[in-house]
Amino acid sequence: MAILQMQRIMIYSLKKNRKAILETLQRRGVMEVCDLDMNDGVFFKEDTDSQQSSYLKNSSVAAQALSTVEEYVPTEKSVFSSIEGRKPLSKESYYTYVDEVNEIMRVAYEVLGASKKISDAKAEITKQEAIMESLVPWRELDIPLNYKGTKKTAVFVGTFPAEKSYEEICTQLKLQLSEEVDFNIEVISSSPQLTCLVAMCHTDYKEQLYNALRKEGFSNPVVETHLVPAKKAKRAENIIKEANNVIEKNIKYIKSFRGMKDAFAFVEDYFVLRSEKYQVIKNLANTKHAFVLCGYIPKRDAGKLAATLSTKYDAYVELEDVCDDDTPIKLHNNKFSEPVESVLKTYSMPKHTEVDPTSIMAIFYYVFFGMMFSDAGYGLVMSLACGWALHHFKNMEEGFKKSVKMFFYCGISTMFWGIMFGSFFGDAVSVICQTFFHLEPSQIPQIPGITSALWFNPVVEPMQMLMFSFLLGIIHLFTGLAIQAYMHIRDGHFRYAVYDVFSWYLLVGGGILALLSLDMMKDMAGFVLPPVFLNIGGICAAIGAVIILIFAGRESKNPVKRFLKGAYGLYGATGYLSDILSYSRLLALGLATGVIAQVFNQIGSMLGDSIIAAILFTVIFVVGHGLNIGINALGAYVHTNRLQFVEFFGKFYEGGGKEFKPFRINTKHYNIKEEI
Amino acid sequence: MMDLGLFFAVLGAAFATFFAGIGSAIGVGKAGVAAAGVLTEDPSKFGKVLIFQLLPATQGIYGLLVAFLILSNVGILGEPKDVTLLQGLLYFASSLPIAFAGLFSAIHQGKCSVAGIGTVAKKPDQMGKAIILPAMVETYAILALLISILSVFGVANVNM
């Protein structure tokens, strides 16, 4: 439970060491670089946009080359490839690759060239196929499609957009032309949408015939060529064949680079690294021979880095404790609560004035998740799956690993509550015993926690579970208030802790005491406090209410305003009521998990006892419980988050801190990490 | 009158599955359309948008849950039991909270999920916040489920 102390770090060094220093910083990944605004004549800034963009271009060329090779020679990926994480890369192989970067880039460009040839050839094939398609109706024609005639004859080759017979065309044309015009029509082919024909006449009547044809809807053929259609089609066929050859050859060529995939992946990463380094250089203040670098570093890492920089690169390092709104926030927690940090992050990082609630939140988080999921079998499945993943994929990404760890602990808690409430895949054990071993309910082996509840069964005693949920809720809310009190007292405002926290303890706690001593609670809660608690509780609540009424509006000087604000503060009691009732979801979701599990068991057992029934039972069991795990784990996760964010954080937490984002290696394929 | 009691109990079970199921179907459907839209741009977000699509699915399951409890209490599933008219009507009344709170909360949770999918499409790192907003709507389905379950349990213990 801590926010790490940050230090502001200034590094002064000679320019000749700049590259080495930046590489060290990037590898260590412990420092956030901030912009140093020192453009004052002595210092100047370097503009690195052009280098950065050229690096990024190289990186994307390598990425494209990689995906091209991947397209033709796919790598076999396991189902779990997405959680495997990046491959680690040793320092030696890093430098071997670096020596070959130019060569790899040359190959990458060749791969892209080959890929372009393939796509060009594919486009050509489409084009030629379209030509061949449109030549089909002209197959019978033995003159070129753009034939215009001889010296004395005019020839029109073209189409009508409808089916027309020879006679139809002749009569239509004759109607439009004068008697002396002599023409000849030859229909090449005819289909419902298209009639292909050749018309000819003496050159003297060329215009007349053409106009007449146009009136009937005549138009020139789509394909223009000086070749006879059959020849043109043949040529197109040849071009396609050739293009196919080109494609085949280039695919083979690309496939020959299958061994280069790792290299392309490396180069993609390498240029991203360099580009990020140049992004940092933009933030430096330079003189002709020296530079200044400024940033934030957690205090625990500062000494070591400073020592390395000053001994190895003759740098002068200045460190200074800082704690203001601009300081980035880095959290530090023990192994048990660290995984829940990611949940806190999805809400907001704490401000530097606040406490890090992770470790307290973690306990409630695991407990609530377990109660909502509350099945020993499901918890076992979840913990085993997470444990297996953690054991097998050691290179998992840091953030993802945290989530897996969190669900591992949640699974353990789920197991615990499952045993407490006596649920193991619902009532699987007794259903199987009854259906397949024909045991009477009394003969079923009694395993506490598996067939019977170790504590109580919420399906049988829902009211007790509801009371327990409310109790946990009250503890949760009061813990939130306690953190607020702690912050007030830490800041030296003991009074505020009394006004804002202890008043509510009195009001809510007193109210609950009084409520529990009412007779009507006997049926609901199963117990009732002696009547004296009604008085004690009432007095406590009254004191609390008065404190809130007087002090909730203490910022206002105007007494009327102050009183009204106090009254409004008192109205916040309704908020506490709804907050506490909100914890009933612990019961509802717990029941949902347990009862749905029983539903599937019962459906499976309906078929009676036979081999086929046993197989069907297994199928229904696996699918049904799988479904139930999926939907209820999601529900438990979402609603545990809600209880933390709305009910718990609402009592003390504001957030709004800036997350610490160190300058580090941000690669896609390889994890280059070692101490230099 | 025995038969009429059974009829009302089954009607209650039908109501719970029927209305809560309709709500979930509408909600999941809406969210699914939005999720598919996001996938056309970025298929790698499948896991994220799927969670949003599933959020309004729970009401249908709650309805099923209550229906199942009623059916097993009145002996449609398992050993047959006698159900009086009053018990049947009480079962019917017990199913109403989840039937209607389920119907409307699922539809509105679906709308909220659609908006959440939009958030995740633009800012994938804001997933945690975007998922809490539809979860707020679910609260009321959970409260309804709670009352329905407690009522069903209670009716089973009432001797009439």
A595: contact with B, CB 8 A cutoff: yes
Instruction: Give yes or no for residue A491 having a pLDDT over 70.
Output: yes
Distance CA B159, CA B156 (A): 8
A635 with B58: Cβ contact below 8 A: yes
Distance CA B104, CA B114 (A): 16
Residues in chain B within 8 Å Cβ distance of A463: 150
Shortest alpha-carbon distance between residue B89 and chain A (Å): 22
pLDDT class for A37, splitting at 50, 70, 90? Answer: confident
- Partner residues linked to A297 by β-bridges: A7
Residues in chain A within 8 Å Cβ distance of B55: 634, 638
B153 with A345: Cβ contact below 8 A: no
Across the interface, of B64, B135, B150, the residue whose CB is closest to A462 is B150
B72 with A602: Cβ contact below 8 A: yes
Strands A670-672 and A6-14: unpaired
B129 with A347: Cβ contact below 8 A: yes
- How open is the CA angle A544-A549-A551, to the nearest 5 degrees? 90
Alpha helices in chain B (DSSP H): 2-41, 46-54, 58-74, 85-122, 127-157
**Tokens at A374, concatenated:** 């509350």
Across the interface, of A343, A584, A631, the residue whose CB is closest to B61 is A631
A596: contact with B, CB 8 A cutoff: yes
Q: What is the mean pLDDT of residues A27-33?
A: 87
pLDDT class for B16, splitting at 50, 70, 90? Answer: very high
Distance CA A596, CA A62 (A): 51
Output phi, psi for A201, to 5 deg.
-160, 180
In this predicted model, what pLDDT tens digit does every residue of A212-234 receive, in sequence order? 888 888 888 877 778 888 888 88
Output phi, psi for A510, to 5 deg.
-60, -40
Strands A6-14 and A290-298: antiparallel
Residues in chain B within 8 Å Cβ distance of A462: 149-150, 153
SS (H, E, C) A359-372: HHHHHHHHHHHHHH
A592: contact with B, CB 8 A cutoff: yes
Collapsing DSSP to helix, strand or coil, A268 comes out as helix
Distance CA B39, CA A318 (A): 49
A462 with B58: Cβ contact below 8 A: no
In this predicted model, what pLDDT tens digit does every residue of A357-403 receive, in sequence order? 999 999 999 999 999 999 999 999 999 999 999 998 888 888 889 98
Number of domains comprising chain B: 1
Could you give the percent of chain A with pLDDT greater than 70? Answer: 98
Strands A87-89 and A670-672: parallel
**Environment class of A77 (CB within 10 Å of its CB; exposed 0-12, middle 13-18, buried 19+):** exposed
A22 touches A278 (CB < 8 A): no
**What is the predicted ipTM?**
0.81
Residues in chain B within 8 Å Cβ distance of A585: 139, 142, 146
Residues 6+ apart with CB under 8 A from A445: A433, A451
In this predicted model, what pLDDT tens digit does every residue of B92-133 receive, in sequence order? 999 999 999 999 999 999 999 999 999 999 988 888 888 889
**Strand segments (E) across A175-232:** 183-191, 194-202
A670 touches A87 (CB < 8 A): yes
Residues in chain B within 8 Å Cβ distance of A583: none
If contacts are CB pairs under 8 Å, which of residues 377-406 in chain A contact chain B?
Answer: none
pLDDT of residue B148: 93
- Select from A515, A517, A508 the least CA-distant residue to A477: A508
Q: Tell me, rounded to whole angstroms, the distance of Cα A175 from its chain centroid.
A: 74
Distance CA A509, CA A501 (A): 12
Distance CA A77, CA A75 (A): 6
Residues 6+ apart with CB under 8 A from B125: none
pLDDT of residue A676: 40
In angstroms, what is the C-alpha Rg of chain B? 19
- Select from B27, B145, B103 the least CA-distant residue to A596: B145
A359 touches A403 (CB < 8 A): no
This prediction has a pTM of 0.81
A490's enclosing H/E stretch is helix A462-490
- How open is the CA angle A616-A620-A623, to the nearest 5 degrees? 135
A346 with B57: Cβ contact below 8 A: no
In this predicted model, what pLDDT tens digit does every residue of A277-319 receive, in sequence order? 888 888 888 888 888 888 999 998 888 888 888 888 888 988 8
Q: What is the mean pLDDT of residues A206-210?
A: 84
DSSP one-letter code for A669: S
The CATH code for residues A146-220 is 3.30.70.2750
DSSP one-letter code for A424: B
Summary mean pLDDT of chain A: 87
Domain positions in chain A are: 146-220, 343-651
pLDDT of residue B159: 64
- Partner residues linked to A391 by β-bridges: none
Instruction: Give yes or no for residue A675 having a pLDDT over 70.
Output: no
- Select from A636, A590, A652, A639 the least CA-distant residue to B132: A639
A240 touches A122 (CB < 8 A): no
Collapsing DSSP to helix, strand or coil, A156 comes out as strand
pLDDT of residue A607: 83
In this predicted model, what pLDDT tens digit does every residue of A542-582 receive, in sequence order? 999 999 988 888 888 888 888 898 888 888 888 898 889 88
Distances (CA, A) of A141 to A127, A135, A230, A588: 22, 10, 8, 82
Q: Tally Cβ neighbours within 10 Å of residue A127.
A: 14
Residues 6+ apart with CB under 8 A from A153: A200, A201, A202, A203
Q: Tally Cβ neighbours within 10 Å of residue A640.
A: 25
B130, closest residue in chain A (CA to CA): A346
Residues in chain A within 8 Å Cβ distance of B128: 343, 345-347, 641
Instruction: Give yes or no for residue A77 having a pLDDT over 80.
Output: no
Across the interface, of A346, A589, A595, the residue whose CB is closest to B129 is A346
Distance CA A647, CA A360 (A): 14
Residues 6+ apart with CB under 8 A from A646: A582, B132, B136
Question: A21's torsion region: left (phi>0), alpha (psi -120 to 50) or beta?
Answer: alpha
| CATH assignment of the domain containing B118 | 1.20.120.610
Summary mean pLDDT of chain B: 89
A584 with B142: Cβ contact below 8 A: yes
B131 with A639: Cβ contact below 8 A: no
Q: Which domain holds residue B36?
A: 2-157
A131 touches A236 (CB < 8 A): yes
Mean pLDDT is lowest, of A239-248, A280-289, A615-624, for: A280-289
Sign of CA dihedral A131, A136, A137, A138: positive
**Tokens at A523, concatenated:** 């049926």
Q: Residue for token digits 């503890």?
A: A475
Instruction: Give yes or no for residue A407 having a pLDDT over 70.
Output: yes
Distance CA A295, CA A25 (A): 11
- Select from A428, A418, A411 the least CA-distant residue to A622: A428
Distance CA A515, CA A561 (A): 32
Distance CA A379, CA A407 (A): 9
- Select from A257, A275, A254 the least CA-distant residue to A60: A275
